[in-house]
Structures are given as C-alpha cells and as structure tokens.
Amino acid sequence: MSDHQDKAPQQTHVAWDESGSACVCAISGPLLLPRVADVWRALGTHAFGARADIRVDCAGITELDSAGVAALVTFVRTQKARGHTVTLDGLRPKHSAFIGMLGGEEALVNAVPARPPHRDTAGPVLLTWWGDFRDMVVFMGRTAAGVVSVLRRPSAECWKEVAHCLQLSGPGAVPVVCTITFLVGFVVAFQAATQLERFNAQIMVAQLVGFALFRELAPIMTSVIMAGRTGSAFAAEIGTMKVSEELDAMEVMLLNPYRYLVAPKILASLVAFPCLTMLADLAGLLGGVFVGAQFLNIPAYVFLKESFQNMTIGDLGEGLYKSVIFACLVAGIGCLRGMQVRLGADSVGRAATSAAVSGIFLTIIADALITMSGYML
C-alpha cells in the first residue's frame, strides 16, 4: 500500500537498541520492494540471545507494499519459530489493514497500533462555537430585515408563501396537537386526583388542570410538537433548495431568500402557534372534564366553572405570549439549520434532526427563563 510519486526515493533505515529489557528494532522510511533486501539483511544478520523479546517499531514506516509485508511477516514467523517473542509496535491503521488483507494475521497477534497524535481540541471547539454564534447573529439580522421588508412592501408572491406555510403549520397540525394535549389534560387530572383525594379536595383538580394548561403545558406541548413537525420541515425544505443550488439561483436573480423564504415562515408561525395553543387549551380542558365526569363525579359545567373561576386574563396572556416566543424560536432555528446545510443529501437529514432537537431545547430554556422572570419581577 504505497503512494508512488515522481520524486527521488527516500532512504529506509533500520536501527537496533538493546539498552532496555527488549531488543527494539526501529524501521523508518518507505518499506517498498527496492528497499526490502537491505531491510531483510539488517533484520536477519542481528544476533539475539536465547528467548529474546523483540519489538519492531513500525511507527516510522511511511509506505508499505506487498514486498514489505512479506518481509515483516516472514521475520515474525522466523523469530517465533526460534522461541523469541516478536511484537509489531506503532503500526498505522492502514498498514495493519493491509497486512491483514494479505493474510498476515499471525504477525498482528501482539501488534500495538500507533497512538493518535495529541491534538488541542479547545481551539477548534471555540472556533466552531464562534462560527455558530456569528451565523446566528447574521441570520437574525437578515431575517429581521426580511420580515420588515415583507411588512413594508408586501407582494403577492410573499403572501402566497405565507399562506402555504400557514397551511403547513396550522390546520395540518390540529389533529396531533389536540390529541396529545387532550391526553396531557387527562393524565394531569388523573395524577392530581390521586393526590388531592387524600385531602377530600377533588374539586381542586379543575383549577389545577386549567392553571397548568393555560400557563405552561399547552404552549410547551404545542411548541414541542411543532418543533418536530414544522421546524424540521422548514430545515429540510430550505436545505434541499440549498443543495440543489436554488438559493444561489435566487441570489443571481436578485431575489432575497430571507424575504421570500424565511420571512413568510416566521410570519406564518407567529399566526399558527397562538391559534394552536388556544386549541390545545380547549383540548386539555376536555381531557380534564372527561376525568372529572367519569371518575370524580364532577359535572362538566362545574369542572369548567372551577377551572375559570380563579383564572385571569394574565394567565391566558402568558400562555399566548410564550407561544409567540416559541414560534420565533422554532421557525427561526428550522430556517437557520436549513441555511447551514452543506453539499450532500445526508446533510439535509442532519439539519432536520438538529432543527427538531434544537427547537425543543430552546423551547424548554425559554419557558424556564420566562417563568423565572415572571416570578422575580
């Protein structure tokens, strides 16, 4: 396995060191057919004591062909037949694979692979983080400019794209959002009932379900669902367009991708998320009502009355406010991951996965920050 180039052949050196407990033979340079005879003479003419421990340092071998493999394997077999212990040390992975491919597994029994060079990973990691932060800042600026451009100078093409994204983000997500939030309300009511039953306060289940849904669970569950459904779809759509060089074609035609692709998705999400959150509130309440009516003997109108009795406009407003923030995060990170796609179809899949994971992570972080700030202010 050699890389032949049109240049003067390098010299191959064999050096013996018997100062330690083992006889060390260091081979450096290309171990190719023109050099095998010299290397074999240097290996075969060396005298060993009885049952010597021989270590062949192969870290310096730069090139290796089938003749070199034959020399190494024959040397190992010969010395083992004489009762010596032979170890090939520092073999490069490609050289080990080449020896094994040519049937020299016997020589690799005690082989020690080459240690990978130590690399300082702090620098590349910091550079990667800095590059991601820079991309995010540039994306946020261009997206804000695109949204302002659409609002100031709307065009039929932009609004058609907004309507298309709204259809993708809104009506298509209603069944899954309502089903999951119904089950969430069902589970929360059941769990709360088992605990409040000890204090004969089952009626408090209605207030707990309403408070938890309107302030926390409905906007969070909606955002999590939309991150996996819509955020990944945005990333895949823009990423596919970038791989197929459609974005480059738009820029050549002086069409701003942030105005015609990113801004409509952001605007559509700003409309769809609050609407879906309100539907999630109703679906979750229905789940609680079902538990109250079937298992707690609480009529539906009593359950709803208790749910809204201590509810304020601020509770509903906080949930809708969170849904707006979550819409910007989920749609924005989906479009950002799409813009970061490199050439290759596999990068589109990675971008879609990253958009879903990042959207869910940012949703939880944003919810924690908003909740903390609400109690601290």
| Residue 4, in any domain of the structure | no
Largest Cα–Cα separation, the chain = 101
Q: Is the pLDDT of residue 235 over 80?
A: yes
| Residue 3, in any domain of the structure | no
251 shares its domain with 208:
yes
Q: Is the pLDDT of residue 115 over 60?
A: no
Residues 178/279, Cβ–Cβ less than 8 Å: yes
187 or 57, which is more confident: 187
3-state secondary structure 18-80: CCCCCEEEEEEEEECHHHHHHHHHHHHCCCCCCCCEEEEEEEEEEEECHHHHHHHHHHHHHHH
| Residue 6, in any domain of the structure | no
Q: Is the pLDDT of residue 1 over 60?
A: no
Q: Domain containing 106: what range?
A: 13-113
Residue 334, pLDDT score: 93
Residue 251, pLDDT score: 83
Measured CA to CA, the distance from residue 89 to residue 23 in angstroms comes to 12
176-224 pLDDT tens trace: 999 999 999 999 998 888 888 788 878 888 888 988 999 899 999 999 9
Burial of residue 33 (CB within 10 Å: 0-12, 13-18, 19+) is: middle
Q: Is the pLDDT of residue 357 over 90?
A: yes
Percent of the chain whose predicted confidence (pLDDT) is above 90:
29
Q: Which of 45, 78, 113 is the last residue of a domain?
A: 113
Q: Is the pLDDT of residue 227 over 50?
A: yes
DSSP labels, 207-244: HHHHHHIIIIIHHHHHHHHHIIIIIHHHHHHHHHHHHT
65 shares its domain with 171:
no
353 shares its domain with 300:
yes
200 or 319, which is more confident: 319
> Which tokens sit at 213?
């849904």
| Residue 124, in any domain of the structure | no
- Count the Cβ atoms, other than its own, within 10 Å of residue 321: 15
Domain with 29 in it: what CATH number? 3.30.750.24
| Residue 132, in any domain of the structure | no
Measured CA to CA, the distance from residue 224 to residue 181 in angstroms comes to 11
| Residue 268, in any domain of the structure | yes
Q: Which of 98, 113, 128 is the last residue of a domain?
A: 113
Residue 62, pLDDT score: 84
24 confidence band (pLDDT: 50, 70, 90): confident
80 or 284, which is more confident: 284
| Residue 77, in any domain of the structure | yes
Mean pLDDT of 132-160: 86
Supply the mean pLDDT for the chain. 84
29 shares its domain with 143:
no
Measured CA to CA, the distance from residue 64 to residue 4 in angstroms comes to 11
Q: Is the pLDDT of residue 344 over 80?
A: no
Measured CA to CA, the distance from residue 361 to residue 372 in angstroms comes to 17
> Which tokens sit at 116?
């990978």
Nearest to 265 by CA among 337, 203, 217: 337
223 shares its domain with 304:
yes
232 shares its domain with 357:
yes
- Of 38-42, 118-122, 154-158, the least confident: 118-122
Mean pLDDT of 334-341: 90
Residue 349, pLDDT score: 87
241-266 pLDDT tens trace: 888 888 888 888 888 889 989 999 99
Angle between helices 300-309 and 204-212 (to 10 degrees): 60
148 shares its domain with 106:
no
DSSP labels, 93-120: HHHHHHHHHTT-GGGGTT-EEPPPPP--
Measured CA to CA, the distance from residue 235 to residue 67 in angstroms comes to 52
Nearest to 37 by CA among 63, 76, 86, 70: 70
84 shares its domain with 202:
no
Work out how many domains the chain is built from and give that number: 2
Q: Is the pLDDT of residue 331 over 90?
A: yes
71 shares its domain with 209:
no
